[in-house]
Amino acid sequence: MQMFPTIVKNLFSRPATRRYPFKDIREPFPGYRGKIYFDTNKCDLCGDCARVCPAEAIEVDLENRQIKYYPFRCIYCGTCVETCLQGAITQDEHYSPPNTEKIEELYKIEA
């Protein structure tokens, strides 16, 4: 019985849910731990990010001068961003998009 006024009120109020991902999407708050990006101009292939990553989501290939990043292994903790001395890793404020297959991202570092 105690719930009755709430139920009646809810009948006439707007829905609390959003029609994600089609309409009324709420933007994440500032500082949300979202997708990871590497700046190929700043990176010096030191490999600190790969060493600290708890999920082994970053691989540094010194021979081919490239960085492999696995977004589906990544736990978005942001440790690599804090560790990078060059400031080459940035994390944006958006949810990482879903995908039908596990992908890897390649970043070529120019000499």
* Residues of this chain that bind other proteins (CB under 8 A): 1-3, 6-7, 10, 16, 28-29, 31-33, 52-55, 75-79, 82
Give the CA diameter of the chain. 72
Of the pair 6, 100, the CB lying nearest other proteins is at 6
By C-beta, is 31 or 98 nearer to other proteins?
Answer: 31
Q: How many whole angstroms separate alpha carbon 59 and alpha carbon 70?
A: 9
The distance of closest approach from Cβ of residue 21 to other proteins in the complex, given in angstroms and rounded to an integer, is 16
Scanning the chain, the segments in alpha helix (DSSP H) are: 4-12, 48-52, 79-83
- Which of these, 51, 41, 31, 26, lies nearest to 107 by C-alpha position? 41
Taking the least distance from each CB to other proteins, the nearer of 91 and 109 is 91
Q: Could you tell me the smallest distance in angstroms from the CB atom of residue 50 to other proteins?
A: 12
Give the Cα separation of 56 and 54 in Å (integer): 6
Q: Which is nearer to other proteins, 16 or 62 (CB)?
A: 16
- Least Å from the CB of residue 108 to other proteins: 27
- Whole-number Å distance between alpha carbons of 51 and 60: 10
Tell me the closest approach of the beta carbon of residue 90 to other proteins, in angstroms: 14
